[in-house]
Amino acid sequence: NKIGVIFDLDGVIVDTAKYHFLAWKNLANHLGFEFTEAHNELLKGVSRVRSLEILLDIGKVELSEEKKQEFLVSKNEEYLKYITKMGPEEILPGAKELLDTLDSLGIHYVLGSASKNAPLILKQVNLFERFSGIVDGNSVSKAKPDPEVFLIGAKKLNLKPEQCIVFEDAIAGVKAANTANMISIGIGDKQTLHKADYNFNDLTEVNSSFIKELIN
C-alpha cells in the first residue's frame, strides 16, 4: 500500500503568518483602519489576491485595480524583508523529525502551498532540497479550497489522490484535501479544523507509529 505526503508550508512547516500579519496590518493602517490577529486568521491558506480583497472588505475600502496591484506589490516587498531574514531555527517543532521519519520509511513528500514565495522560504530554512517536488502559488490557477494544488502534488508523487496524505493548518486547505479525496490531517486547533480526518496540535504529535498505521 503506497502512500505519499503533501505538506502545506505556512503554519505547518514554518510560522510565516506572523510576517503576513505585520505586512497586512501596515497596509490596513495606511488605509486608515485596524487589522487584528483575528482578522489575520481569515487570510490563512488564502491566496495573496484574495487576502487583499478580504482585507479591503474588513476596512470597507474600495480601490481601483491599479491601486490594488500597487498594494499587492508593496505588501509583498515588506513581507520579503521579513522572510529573507528567516533561518532554520524558524522551522516549527516536529517538522524536521517528521521528514526524517518519512525518509526512513521511504515515503516521498512534496509541498502544496498557495504561496508564491514558497521556494524562497524553503531555501531560507534549508529544507528546499528535501522535497521531491514543489507545488506553489506560481503553478496553480485556482486557490484553496479548490483541490488543484494537491491534485498537481499527487501527480508529482505519481500517486492517486486517495494515496496522498495532506498536512494542513487552514480550513481552506483541509477542505481542498477532502475535496481531492485525500487523507486530511489538521495541524492546529481541533475545533477550527474539525473537518479533517485526523487532528494534531502540532507536528511533534505525529509519530512514526501513526504514519505506519496509515500505510497499512
Active site residue 136: no
Decide if 146 is catalytic: no
Q: In Å, how far are 24, 33, 40, 114, 122 from 211, measured between CA atoms?
A: 37, 45, 32, 25, 23
Does 10 sit near Mg ion (CB under 5 A)? yes
DSSP assignments along 98-124, one per residue: HHHHHHHHT--EEEE-S-TTHHHHHHH
Residue list 117-136, contact with ligand G6P (CB under 6 A): 117
Q: Which positions from 159 through 188 interact with Mg ion, judged by CB under 5 A?
A: 169-170
Among 6, 13, 39, 48, binds ligand G6P (CB under 6 A): 48
120 CB-near residues (< 8 Å, 6+ apart):
80, 83, 84
Distances (CA, A) of 35 to 3, 40, 118, 189: 41, 7, 24, 22
The residue annotated as part of the active site, out of 10, 15, 103, 136, is 10
Which range of residues in 44-52, 56-64, 86-94, 183-191 is near ligand G6P by CB under 6 A? 44-52
199 binds, among ligand G6P, Mg ion, none (CB under 5 to 8 A by kind): none
Among all residues, which ones are annotated catalytic? 8, 10
Which residues bind to Mg ion, rule: CB under 5 A?
A: 8, 10-11, 45, 169-170
